[in-house]
Chain A
Amino acid sequence: MAIANYLYLSAILFTIGAVGVVIRRNAIVVFMCIELMLNAANLAFVTFARINGNLQGQVVAFFTMVVAACEVVVGLAIIVTIYRSRRSISVDDASLLKR
Chain B
Amino acid sequence: MSNAELIGQDPGWVIALKGLFIFAACVFLTIMSVWAERRIVARMQQRSGPNRVGKFGLLQALVDGVKLALKEDLIPKAADRVIFVLAPIISTTACFMAFAVIPLTGEVNFFGHQTVMQLTDISVGVLYVLAIASVGVYGIVLAGWSSGSTYPLLGGLRSSAQVISYEVAMGLSLVAVFIYAGSMSTSEIVAAQDKWWYAVILFPSFIIYTISMVGETNRAPFDLAEAEGELVGGFHTEYSSLKFALFFLSEYVNIIAVSALATTLFLGGYHALPGLGFTEQWLGGWFTLAWFFVKVLGFFFVFVWLRGTLPRLRYDQFMKFGWKVLIPFSLAWIMVVSTLRVMSQQQAPRVIIIAFIFSIALIYIAITSLVDRQKVNHAKAAKVTNSEEPNFPVPAIPNSRSEQLNG
A and B touch in the complex (CB under 8 A): no
**B interface list, Cβ under 8 A from A:** none
